[in-house]
Structure 1
């Protein structure tokens, strides 16, 4: 094991990374709280500021995936679809099979400039979680209880508020509602059989209410639906802990773009469209398991330096006093010490290939 790989396994280093994320997150939440006074004066200015504040927090997690673990993300799609990335409002449908699937999604958001404005339909319990839930609150994330009778009006109001959002947003939907497990899959397929729906091998039965409501409420704002099917080479099952330990993974993401005009207006027909989509996603996963690749051209969007620079900024600001206290270093010199220390952790930039 080389010195860099050894360093990435050390608990003290993990503790420092966690310290930077938590303290910077609390500071960011405090600034977000102050921005509430802007809402009645300029709603759009409030939103733009909070997009950038959220980026400063979320990009630290993306940094761990891109620069710390050096995980590679390859897109399987077409040039016309790639050319539209980051230039339109979209609903993103992603399979929920892996612990870090959201992080791979955020990586693509970051590389196309929409990380700060990315949205999700989240469980209401997350609203009370420091850092994550609090940041999402200021971003106008739509929270629900997963009981549609109680959620319907709340979800509709939350989605309709996003109609004039000033930044291009990717609205992520986990239509399966929860992460895939064998037990959940067995129960889900029993439900599918009772409803006369085809069995799925790699996915749970999609919940259609959230999707059909999102499409109806955001019609006129959202231009398309991106269907994203994610898998990892070598049949790996990556974890957040693996990322923290610097393990490198290779993620493959098949992206298909469906203009919103292709999705039926009728709720029942839109639900049928979603079920058909998941049957196609299942076929894509089967193809990947057999051939090791998804169909389509391969794209590897280049990493941008901003996630790393953002982390270095927070690490310098927050760790300088700590290092000055422990090692007795002059405060004026400690930022350079931190930058030098963290600069040692840099990895060579990824090669860009289209």
Structure 2
């Protein structure tokens, strides 16, 4: 009975998500001139949609799931990196942002394939997401222009970046191992080998700016496999998430590649520790 009530509650709240998308249709069409003429104002107005959308998805998620860990980190602007465990990752980051009073200001680096999802794509561009083609040579100029714009404004932001580039999977883990073997480095079992070029570029351009710190997040799911997003939003899921957060001033990092690798080496060990604890229960 409780399961049925949870599912019904999620379905009811999902109607709110549908309502947000309906409201966003005319805005996505009419806001383009404003985006071209006054981008900062367009970003501030567009946060209404991300705030309401992230709030509804967070409410739905919390009906049958939880995130464990000390996750209130304050309302200043950050550069956020995390391991990429599944399609639910954005809800996990948003939950941290919500508890820190910053859910309106989370900006993600997203793949340009999302342009095939009209309305949503337009809104996230208006709100200030960074669209990438997953090729550092092609994306380098876009990243620099993006960061230069936000450095020149007072718009609050959490810029979220996934150094692994793709969600963790068994197939990609094997490729990650091959890359580690080629470089003579330790294999990572619970995360993928991180890509450092984009991370280094972001850090170099944020150094001595108003965004002074990196928030380094590690997530892990209590069950064997992270369910698809639709199950978290429309069905009943029983697992929970562990979360660990480390904050490092960007100016204190001497070697960006070394810092990033050690970060993911630590994530790998931490997730293994969490998994062992679950098995012992």
> Equivalent residue of 2:26, what SS?
helix
User: Paired residue for 1:318?
Assistant: none
2:217 matches 1:202: no
How far is the alpha carbon of 1:21 from its aligned partner? Answer: 2.1
**TM-score w.r.t. length of structure 1:** 0.70
> Equivalent residue of 2:104, what SS?
coil
**TM-score w.r.t. length of structure 2:** 0.87
User: For residues 50-74 of structure 1, what are the alpha-carbon distances to aligned partners after superposition, in whole Å with 9 as ceiling and x for unaligned?
Assistant: 22232122222112112x33x2222
2:114 matches 1:126: yes
2:248 matches 1:262: no
TM-align CA RMSD:
2.6
Q: Which structure 1 residue ranges, 5 or more long, are not aligned?
A: 294-354
2:172 matches 1:178: no
For residue 138 of structure 2, the aligned residue among 144, 150, 164 is 150
Residues 1:13 and 1:123: Cα distance change in structure 2 (over 3 Å): closer
Q: Which structure 2 residue ranges, 5 or more long, are not aligned?
A: none
Mean Cα deviation higher: 54-63 or 20-29: 20-29
Superposition pairs of residues 205-224 of structure 1, within 5 angstroms:
205-219=193-207, 220-224=209-213
Contact 2:10/2:60, CA 8 A, preserved across alignment: no
2:243 matches 1:253: yes
User: Paired residue for 2:4?
Assistant: 6
Contact 2:80/2:158, CA 8 A, preserved across alignment: yes
Superposition pairs of residues 5-154 of structure 1, within 5 angstroms:
5-9=3-7, 14=11, 18-31=14-27, 33-39=29-35, 43-66=39-62, 68-69=63-64, 71-76=65-70, 82=72, 84-86=73-75, 88-154=76-142
Partner Cα separation in structure 2 for residue 40 and residue 278 of structure 1: 39
Superposition pairs of residues 160-175 of structure 1, within 5 angstroms:
160-175=148-163
For residue 229 of structure 1, the aligned residue among 218, 224, 243 is 218
Contact 1:94/1:230, CA 8 A, preserved across alignment: yes
How far is the alpha carbon of 1:197 from its aligned partner? Answer: 2.2
> Equivalent residue of 1:116, what SS?
helix
User: Paired residue for 1:326?
Assistant: none
User: Paired residue for 2:266?
Assistant: 280
Partner Cα separation in structure 1 for residue 267 and residue 135 of structure 2: 26
Total equivalences in the alignment: 277
Larger Rg computed on CA atoms: 1
Residues 1:43 and 1:96: Cα distance change in structure 2 (over 3 Å): closer
Contact 1:122/1:142, CA 8 A, preserved across alignment: yes
Partner Cα separation in structure 1 for residue 266 and residue 202 of structure 2: 21
Partner Cα separation in structure 2 for residue 64 and residue 121 of structure 1: 24
Contact 1:95/1:176, CA 8 A, preserved across alignment: yes
Mean Cα deviation higher: 210-219 or 181-190: 210-219
Partner Cα separation in structure 1 for residue 230 and residue 130 of structure 2: 28
Partner Cα separation in structure 1 for residue 202 and residue 128 of structure 2: 15
